Each structure stands twice: as structure tokens, then as C-alpha cells.
Amino acid sequence: MKDYLLLIVSAVFVNNILLAQYLGNCPFLGCSKELGVALGMGGAVVFVATLATAFTWLIQTFALAPFGLDYLQTIAFIVVIAALVQFVEMFLKKAMPPLYTSLGIYLPLITTNCAVLGIAIIAQRKEMDFVTAVIFSAAAAAGFLLALLLMAGIRERYEVTRIPKPLQGTAIGLVTAGFMSLAFFAFSGMI
Amino acid sequence: MITTSVLFLLALGFCAAALLAVAAVFLRVEEDPMLARIEEALLGANCGGCGYPGCAGAAQAVLAGKAGADVCVAGGPEITARVAAVLGLEALLAEPQLAFHDCFGGPRARERYFYEGAPDCRAQALLGGGAKNCEVGCLGFGTCVRACPFDAMVMGPRGTPVILEGKCRACGVCAQVCPRGVLSVVSPAARILHLNQEDECLAPCRQACPAQINIPQYIEQALKGDYAGAVCTLKERNPLILSIGRVCPAPCEGSCRRGAVDAPVGINMIKRFLADWEMAHGRVCTPIAPETGKKVAVVGGGPAGLSCAYYLRRLGHSPTIFEWQPELGGQLRYGIPEYRLPKRILDWEIEGVTSAIGVAVRTGLKLGSDFTLDSLRAEGFEAFFLGMGAWLNWSLDIPGEDARGVWQGTEFLTEWALGRNPPVGRNVIVVGGGNTAIDAARTTRRTGARVTIMYRRTEKEMPANAVEIHAAREEGVEFLFLAGPTRVIADEAGHAAELEYIEMELGEPDASGRRSPRPKAGSETRLPCDMLIPAIGQYPDTCYIEEQSPACELTRRKTVAVNPDTMQTAVPDVFAAGDLVSGPSLVVSAIGGGRRAARSIHYHLLQGEIPVPATLLRKPMPHALFTDLEGVGHIPRVEIPELCAAERVCDFREVEHTVGEAQLRHEAARCLRCGSTCYDADDPARPGLLSREEFEQARAAGRVAS
């Protein structure tokens, strides 16, 4: 149990996928202007990353590894994740319309999100078992959600702040991302 | 290994495709077909410029009513029309917005002149207790050119960006990246609605002009040969450039900084050249905002009413001008004589302000007798502009004033303008020192009469333009100063024969700052006089306005009281400007007031509330007016060609003429480009503006003003 707790803390804070591993920067800057949008995007990432890691774990264990095709990992994972996202989108639309309306429009945008792919590949590199991989992926994606929400909160404040003209928009976003990354660096000694 | 890989990937791809295909059949959802059609109509670029996550997101927002058919910023009007068609709406074109900057390049800061000792105009403004935002100041880095997503900007030959109007989508990216805030995305209507503000970089001429014309900009455009552009700049502030180019006493020239060196730049002769160029080459097309469908009644077709109606029309409203005289023009037509402003030119100008842009006109109707504001309200008019001017004459209040041969100044000029040529005597005396008096004197002089202007103060106190007084004297009009009429003596037939006057002397200055005249007892003298024209001032006819309920408030000078910032009267939907508000004043002031009223009416109709900027410029800022200017060499001012006095008194031909193109360039090059001399690409100094070394040499040789 303690192992899982450590795994979650490590994935959310210490090895935050965005601020420590620098994956998924495009939605980090693109979808962090409003809290509502950030929440939708982060939720979609949690959902898809968890499912994708579970699926790719199965593919890796039962298809790639037995045939010695580990070198096809990246391509195979992309295909699987893309197909999965499309399938999930259709499934949600049919079975859970409310969930679809809140997450649906973000799903196509994360088809090839590097954070999702990155989480799946990290789970493999660390040779986790199935349950650990699923928990890890959910926690890492939650870390993404956390960073995105923090960023959106800060950028909403920027809307009413006087920012020097050359720094407005993405420029101040990148500066902020750097500072947030530094702040998260403080977690690195925790585990 | 290769075979395995290929086979594996093929199998994986096939499985994924099969899964999705099966899912597509089983998980089909009936959704609003509209969504797919909207998505199809959108550009499909997923650029995110609209702020929604991709085109699908935008389509959902449109369907949910969160965004309009114009959601796509990249697509422009065609896409808007397509989306609107899907929604079953008709897309009306909104007024096009364009990126815009005011910077037109010029000499670098090291070639500037010295602002009363301060080496920088901003430092000078700070010393004077003000601060300013330097809106002119492109650094020429071209960030905007690189940032523009639509390739609508290129770097121009003078180191400032040029906006390609056909490609600009008004997305605003250039304005976001510009480090100096030079660029903005504005519509022509927004430029019309702008009022001068104290923190802007305003040349003194721009501050002095009652119509707030961007004078340095049109001079610059004229110098470059962009006459159509210069006319557009003028018409953003002044629709009657032919008339103003002829009759304006040019308060702008009074505060021109070059006046501290040699003579002010001939701003008005440049305007007149441009106006005549437009008349000779066809009307310059000015943009008109999309229709708002608001009807506004403009009562009075003089300069104030014409200006108000013109700007209301350009802002997209539907004004109707009501005029009691048979033709439009007000004092321009019925007060200013033919030799200063030919009727042919005035007719062409008024056509451009009315029928050419779709302003409705109803003539021969008088407020109060033929229609009332309530009858107009019933007709669907939503706001009212009063610009009836000041047409009633103050009377002399002396015995015998009702004798035949006594004509009120404006009445006489109106009769003359109507072509009814009233009989002119042999010995004409005009009483008064204003422009109406001079006009009446110069008009009667042209019939061969002996004309005397009688004024109770001296020439120094005369309110008429110095140029006009000089021209009248050249034409042989005599002046009798320090004299006030006391009695008109009529002959047996009741016709004026002699005028008795009393000599005056000047006493202490009164409230207006002028020394008030006092009669010298026992100095009565008689002069032969068979025609007397009192022209001692006018006031508006406000009888009808006083009867109205609720009534507009009046001042003690019998003019209508308005909020000077908004021109709004005490009745919220009634606005007023021109002589009706100010008493007899300049044409250009009436034009400025008309535009301010049009701005207020626009906001009143669309928002119900009229915004007034906190830093509104109400009077010229003293620290912008210089009495001393170093570093500027002398260049003689162009003389305006005019008829010689002997020719002038025979007929009513126009006295002053338009300058030629070479003279125009000479005069435009005299402009010191105040407010535009900082920051720019390397450009040679223009004639008259000296470098530091040249300046030292020139001062040693005594060639610069000290």
C-alpha cells in the first residue's frame, strides 16, 4: 500500500509529467487561459491516459514482447492510442452524452498528445505490472491536470494585470512555466 | 525482421480499423445534422484563432448560440456568409476593420529641433506639467510583419510597415506584438468617433483646430503626392473642405511653431489645394459604416448641421436635414459673399455631403411653424440635432432706425445671396467691427458706392479677421473708429439721409478684456448716409425652443445651453452645436461641434450613454505652444495669388486663388512635423531643419531666430 502511495506522490509531484519531464507543453500553453477549459482538457487527459496505458500494457506484454518487436513500441502505441481515442469518443457519445459534452471536444486534440504517449512508454520502461501501470498513469495524468489548473489560475490573474507589451500572451506563459517548474523542483528531494 | 514488422503493423492497423468500423455501426448517434453542416462550412484549418478548440469546437459553439456566424477569424466574410447560410441567416457585412498606424516616418531624433531648450518633446511636456503617450514612434523592427498570420503587412520604403488592405483580417496580432503600441485595429467609424486627448502626441495646430483635423498627417500626405489620402484624412474631421479652404481664418496657423521662426505654415492654402484637387479629379470615396436603421433629424442645413448629418451618415445612421431656406448652406450660402466662396463650388461641396452619400434633405420647412420635434418623433426620428445658427441681429436701439435704407447686416447679405439685389445707396455706412460688417462693406463697395465702416473701438479691438480688414481697406472701404451712431435723420420721404454719431474714447477693460468705449459729450457730428447697415452682432432665434416642453435650457446670451463635451442639451435626445450654441463664431467651430454632436448621438442611440474620455483635450495645452524655437532655418511662406484691388471692386469674382502644385510642395515642406520627428529609419534632414553643426553655423551667421 505504501508503495502505491509513494508511486502516486512521485508521479503527481516529484516527476510531474509537465513540470519535471516537460511533456505535453502544447496543451499546457494552449488550453490554460481559462479554468473551465483547463479542467476539461485535464479531465480528458486523465481519462485517456489511464485507458491508453492499460491497453498499451496489454499490447506490449501479449503482442510486442512475445514476438521480439519491442523496437516497434512507439509506432504501435501511437496507432493503438489513436484508435482508442476515436473509439472512446464514439462510445462516450453513444453511452454517456453528458461526459461526452464535457470532454468530447478535447478528445480529438489529445489523439497524439505526447503526455499520453509518454506516460504509456514510461510505464513500460519502468517495467511495471498491470495494476501499478494503471495507477501510475492515472496519477501522472492527475499531475498534468494539477499543473494545467495552476497555470490557468495564474493566467486568469494575468488578464487583469499590467504586463509589459512584449511579454504578453505566450511569452509570459513560458516564463511562468519556467518558474512553476523551478517550484516543483523543490519536490525532488521528497522521495 | 522486416517481414514481421510489416505484417505486425498491417495486422495492428487492420484490427484498429475493423474495431472502429464496427464501433461506427453500433455506436452511431443521431446528432443534429446542422453541426456537421456548420463544421463543413468552416475553414477546417483548426487554427484556434477563434478561441475555440478547433473547428469542431467552433461549430458546437455556433450551434449552442455562444458564437455568431462570424466565429471564423481566418476565413473572413465568405466563411461568415457560408455559416450564416447554414443557420438560415443573412450575413450583412459589418464595417471592415483594418490594422492601422499613424506613423509616417521622418528624420531621426538627432535632427530634431530644440523645444524651448528641452531636447525632447516628452521632456518638454513633463516640464509643462503634462505627460504624453507617444503614439508615433515605430522602431522599424518589423515584428508585426513577421507576426502577421495573413501576410498582410510588408516593410515599406520608409522603414515603417505598410498594411495591405485586401489581406488584413483585423485579427489584431500585429497590435499585440507591437512593442510601442503604434498599431491598432480600428474601423473608420472608430476614427471618426475619436476626440483629442491630453496624453496624445498632438501638434499645436491639431490642438488649436476647432474641428481637430489631423493637420500634420494631411500635410505629410500632400507632400508625398497622396492627395486622395490627404482628402480622406481631412474628411475624417471636416466634410466641407472647399468652403473651409476658402473662408477659414485658420486658428491652426496662429499656433504653428514655424510662426516663431518666420511665418506659420500656410495650412489653409494646402487644404484649399487638396479640396480643389478633389473637385477637379472626382470625389474621393469615403467609407460608410453598415446601416443601423436609426433615423435622426438634423434641423438646420448650415455648417453645423451638414457636418453632423455627414458624420451620422458615415457612422451608418439615416439623417434627414430640415432647412427653412430654399437651399442648404446656412451662413456659407446666405452670409458669405460670392467673392469669398463662389456658389458653384458650394453647390458641389454640399452635393458631396448630402445626395452623394445618401443624406435626405427637406428644404423650405421651418421648425415651429412647418414641423415640431414631436411631429418628427411621431415620424420615427429617434434623436434630434439643432443647428439653426444665429440669424437675428442685435438692434442699434437709436431713433430713426426704422427709416427706409436701413438694412440689418445678415438680412442684406441674405437678400444679396438670394439674387434679389436690394438697392444700394451712394453713401453707405456699416456699423460694427465683425466679419458680417466687413462682408456687407465689401459687397456694397462692389456696386461702386462710397462705403464707411463705423466702429466704436479701434482697429486693434475689431473681432473681424485681420486679412479681411486689410482686403477691405485695399478695396477702398473707409474706416471710422471710435464712433457710435446716435440718430438716423430721414428726409421727407422717410428715407435715411444723414447719420448722427458721437465720438468715443476707450475706458477701463471690461469683463471680456476689451477696453469699453465711453461717449465724449458734445462731440455729435453728422455724416451723409443714404444706406445704413447695422452689423453689431447676432443671436439665435430661440422662440420655438423656449416654447417646447420639456425645454432646452438657454444661456443669458440667448444661446442654447449644452454640455460642451457631448453637445447634449437638457433634453436627452436633443443635441445642438454651431452658432446656436456659441453665438456667432467660426465655420470650422460649427463643423467641429457638428461632429462632436454626431458622436454623442451615435452613442446615445446605440448605448444610451455617452462616454467622455477622462483626459479629453478641452483647450490647447500651454506647454505645446512655443514662442521660441531653435535650430530651424528660414523659408519664405508662399504668397496666395489674388486679384488686384482695382479689379476686385468691379465684380464678384473670387478674390483669392488656389496655389499651384510646386507652391504646395514648397509650403508642405515648411511643416516642422511636430509630434512626428522622433524615431525613424535613416532619412536625410528635410530643408529647414538643421543638424546641430549647421545650426551653430547658422546662429553664428544670425540666420536663426533666437
State the SS3 of B303-335.
HHHHHHHHHHHHCCCEEEEEECCCCCCCHHHHC
CA separation for the pair A154, A171 (Å, rounded): 14
Quote the pLDDT of residue B556: 81
Name the phi and psi angles at A158, rounded to 5: -60, -30
How would you label B586-601 residue by residue, b for 16+ Cβ within 10 Å and e otherwise? Answer: bbbbbbbbbbbbbbbb
Share of chain A above pLDDT 90, in %: 26
Contact B232, B284 (CB under 8 A): yes
Work out the angle at residue B529's Cα, subtended by the Cα atoms of residues B525 and B531, and round it to the nearest 5 degrees: 140
Residues of B in contact with A108 (CB under 8 A): 54, 56
Instruction: Cell numbers for B290, please give them.
Output: 453598415
Mention every residue, 6+ apart, whose C-beta is less than 8 A from residue A122.
A136, A140
Q: Tell me the sheet residues that pair with B479.
A: B453
Top residue of A29, A81, A165, A167 to mutate, by most chain B CBs within 10 Å, is: A165
Structural Rg of chain B based on CA atoms: 32
Q: Mean pLDDT over residues B599-613, rounded?
A: 91
Q: What is the DSSP string of B582-616?
A: HSS--HHHHHHHHHHHHHHHHHHHHTSS----TTB
CATH superfamily of B31-93: Electron transport complex subunit B, putative Fe-S cluster (1.10.15.40)
For the domain made up of B392-539, give the CATH fold: FAD/NAD(P)-binding domain (3.50.50)
Q: Tell me the sheet residues that pair with B186.
A: B98
Name the phi and psi angles at B90, rounded to 5: -105, 130
CA separation for the pair A118, A28 (Å, rounded): 15
CA separation for the pair A160, B220 (Å, rounded): 39
- A187 is a domain residue: no
Long-range contacts: B659-663, Cβ < 8 Å, 24+?
B659/B266, B659/B269, B659/B272, B659/B273, B661/B273, B663/B269, B663/B638
Residues of B in contact with A75 (CB under 8 A): 9
Measured CA distances, A15 to A147, A152, B87, B446, B461 (Å) = 12, 20, 48, 97, 86
The verdict on a CB contact (< 8 Å) between B9 and A76 is yes
- To the question of pTM greater than 0.90 for the whole model, the response is no
Quote the pLDDT of residue B115: 58
Q: Which domain holds residue A119?
A: 2-178
Cα end-to-end distance, chain A, whole Å: 16
| CATH of region B204-285+658-669 | 1.10.1060.10
The verdict on a CB contact (< 8 Å) between B8 and A87 is no
Nearest to B448 by CA among B584, B310, B652, B153: B652
Quote the pLDDT of residue A104: 61
Average per-residue pLDDT for chain B:
83
Share of chain B above pLDDT 70, in %: 85
Q: Kind of pairing, strands B525-528 and B496-509? A: antiparallel
Residues of A in contact with B24 (CB under 8 A): 90
Contact B186, B98 (CB under 8 A): yes
Decide if domain B97-202+617-635+677-706 falls under CATH 3.30.70.20.
yes
Q: Mean pLDDT over residues B132-148, rounded?
A: 69
Quote the pLDDT of residue A179: 93
Cα end-to-end distance, chain B, whole Å: 93
Q: Mean pLDDT over residues B298-316, rounded?
A: 94
CA separation for the pair B259, B223 (Å, rounded): 20
Residue B453 Rama label (left phi>0; alpha psi -120 to 50; beta): beta
Q: Poorest-confidence range of A158-172, B180-194, B519-533, B594-608?
A: B180-194
Contact B409, B430 (CB under 8 A): yes
Q: Mean pLDDT over residues B527-536, rounded?
A: 91
Interhelix angle B33-41/B54-63, nearest 10 degrees = 130
Contact A84, A55 (CB under 8 A): yes
Identity of the residue numbered B471: A
The verdict on a CB contact (< 8 Å) between A87 and B54 is no
Delimiting residues of CATH 3.50.50.60 domain(s) in chain B: 295-380+575-606, 392-539
H-type alpha helices, A60-169: 65-67, 73-95, 97-103, 114-125, 130-158
Mention every residue, 6+ apart, whose C-beta is less than 8 A from residue B647.
B653
CB contact, 8 Å: B179 with chain A?
A: yes
> Model confidence over A126-138: pLDDT tens digits?
888 999 999 999 9
The verdict on a CB contact (< 8 Å) between B4 and A67 is yes
Contact A36, A155 (CB under 8 A): no
Query: Hey, how many other C-beta atoms are within 10 angstroms of the C-beta on A181?
Result: 15
CA separation for the pair A68, B235 (Å, rounded): 79
Instruction: Cell numbers for B26, please give them.
Output: 453500433
Query: Hey, how many other C-beta atoms are within 10 angstroms of the C-beta on B536?
Result: 22
Instruction: Cell numbers for B235, please give them.
Output: 474628411
Top residue of A69, A77, A113 to mutate, by most chain B CBs within 10 Å, is: A69
Work out the angle at residue B91's Cα, subtended by the Cα atoms of residues B89 and B94, and round it to the nearest 5 degrees: 145
Contact A83, A112 (CB under 8 A): no
Q: What is the DSSP letter of B83?
A: H
CATH superfamily of B295-380+575-606: FAD/NAD(P)-binding domain (3.50.50.60)
Delimiting residues of CATH 1.10.1060.10 domain(s) in chain B: 204-285+658-669
Top residue of A96, A109, A112, A155 to mutate, by most chain B CBs within 10 Å, is: A109
Quote the pLDDT of residue B110: 41
Instruction: Cell numbers for B122, please give them.
Output: 516628452
Contact B595, B192 (CB under 8 A): yes
Q: Which of A67, A91, A105 sits opposite B57 (nearest CB)?
A: A105
In this predicted structure, the answer to whether residue B677 has a pLDDT above a threshold of 80 is no
Query: Hey, how many other C-beta atoms are within 10 angstroms of the C-beta on A74?
Result: 11
- A99 is a domain residue: yes
CA separation for the pair B531, B511 (Å, rounded): 33
Q: What is the ipTM of this complex?
A: 0.77
Confidence of residue B130 (pLDDT cuts 50, 70, 90): low
CA separation for the pair B275, B55 (Å, rounded): 49
CB contact, 8 Å: B4 with chain A?
A: yes
> Model confidence over B404-458: pLDDT tens digits?
889 998 889 998 888 888 888 889 999 998 889 999 999 999 888 899 999 998 8
Query: Hey, how many other C-beta atoms are within 10 angstroms of the C-beta on B486?
Result: 17
The verdict on a CB contact (< 8 Å) between B56 and A75 is no
Confidence of residue B117 (pLDDT cuts 50, 70, 90): low
* Shortest CA gap B373–chain A (Å): 46
CB contact, 8 Å: B172 with chain A?
A: no
Quote the pLDDT of residue A136: 93
Q: Which residues of A touch B (CB under 8 A)?
A: 30-31, 37, 63, 67, 69, 71-72, 75-76, 79-80, 82-83, 86-87, 90-91, 93-95, 105-106, 108-109, 165-166, 168-169
CA separation for the pair B112, B124 (Å, rounded): 13
Total domains in chain A come to: 1
Identity of the residue numbered B64: A
The verdict on a CB contact (< 8 Å) between A105 and B53 is yes
Mention every residue, 6+ apart, whose C-beta is less than 8 A from residue B192.
B236, B311, B314, B315, B595, B598, B599
The verdict on a CB contact (< 8 Å) between A69 and B54 is no
Q: Mean pLDDT over residues B557-566, rounded?
A: 89
Q: Poorest-confidence range of B293-297, B477-481, B502-506, B696-700?
A: B696-700
CA separation for the pair B576, B437 (Å, rounded): 26
Q: Which of A71, A80, A90 sits opposite B27 (nearest CB)?
A: A90
Q: Which helix (H) or strand (E) holds B269?
A: helix B267-281
Residues of B in contact with A82 (CB under 8 A): 16
Q: Which of A75, A76, A90 sits opposite B23 (nearest CB)?
A: A90
* Shortest CA gap B285–chain A (Å): 36
Contact B130, B198 (CB under 8 A): yes
In this predicted structure, the answer to whether residue B609 has a pLDDT above a threshold of 70 is yes
Q: Mean pLDDT over residues A64-92, rounded?
A: 86
Instruction: Cell numbers for B299, please give them.
Output: 434641423
Nearest to A89 by CA among B63, B31, B59, B51: B31
How many CA atoms within 13 Å lie on the side-chain side of B606? 14
In this predicted structure, the answer to whether residue B463 has a pLDDT above a threshold of 50 is yes
Measured CA distances, B605 to A179, B54, B320 (Å) = 49, 37, 16
Contact B598, B178 (CB under 8 A): no
The verdict on a CB contact (< 8 Å) between B8 and A30 is no
Name the phi and psi angles at B195, rounded to 5: -115, 150
